[in-house]
Structures are given as C-alpha cells and as structure tokens.
Amino acid sequence: MEARITGLDALKRKLTPANVKKPAMDALRRIVFKLESIIKEHTVVDTGRLRASILSRFQGEGASVATNVNYAEAVEYGKGSVPSRYWSGTTKVLGEGGSFTYGVNHLQDTLTEEEKKIASEICINVERS
C-alpha cells in the first residue's frame, strides 16, 4: 500500500508572505470589527458620547479597539465619579464587568471556525492606558 501526496511544490509557491498576509489581515479586520460591535452594543448609554468614541484602529499587523473618553475606565471598572447607576446598569446587564471586558469574553461566540483559528493566535487584552 502506498500513499502519495502531489501538488506540494505548487502549494509552496502559493504560500508566499504576500499571499498569506492579505487573508490573515482580512480575518483580523473582521475579528476586530466584531469586537468593536459587541463592545458598542453593550456600552451603557447616557449621552452616547462614550459609545460613539469607541473605534477600531489598525497599526501595521496589529489592531486595537479603544476610546479616548476620559471617564471610560470609570464606567468599565465602576470607579471614580461616574454615577453608580451606570456601573450598576452595566453589571446587571452584563454580569461580569464593563463592555470591553464583556466583548473580549464573548468574542469567540461570534466567530466562524476560520476566525476562531486565527483568533487563537492573537493576543487579546483589555488594557488601561
């Protein structure tokens, strides 16, 4: 009995950095935009300023979902001078923290199998900056 694999040379020629990078970056974009959508959907809204400020940013081969609103951390972690109704509302709705934490924790639930494979190789962190 013999098994023969053919076409390996042709496959090697196709797997150039240029041919692999675009599909990987397209998948990264889909994943990041899904994360942005989840975060926005679960952000507590008073005026809408915080939700509107949440944007995806792509830098080189990396990406982030972030906000520049100065009270975002207080809303996310329930600290500072943010009225407690926002934090308690977020906790009641999400049960596990703010919208960024919820988004990261539930991103996998929205991904296709292909995206899950790529996402498993991506470091996803909620960072305070």
pLDDT at site 92: 45
pLDDT at site 121: 72
pLDDT at site 91: 47
pLDDT at site 52: 94
Which residue is it, tokens 């207080």? 74
pLDDT at site 89: 47
pLDDT at site 46: 78
Listed as ranges, residues in the chain with pLDDT below 70 are 1-6, 78-97, 123-129
pLDDT at site 109: 86
pLDDT at site 72: 83
Number of H helices, E strands in the chain: 7, 2
Q: Which amino acid is at 10?
A: A
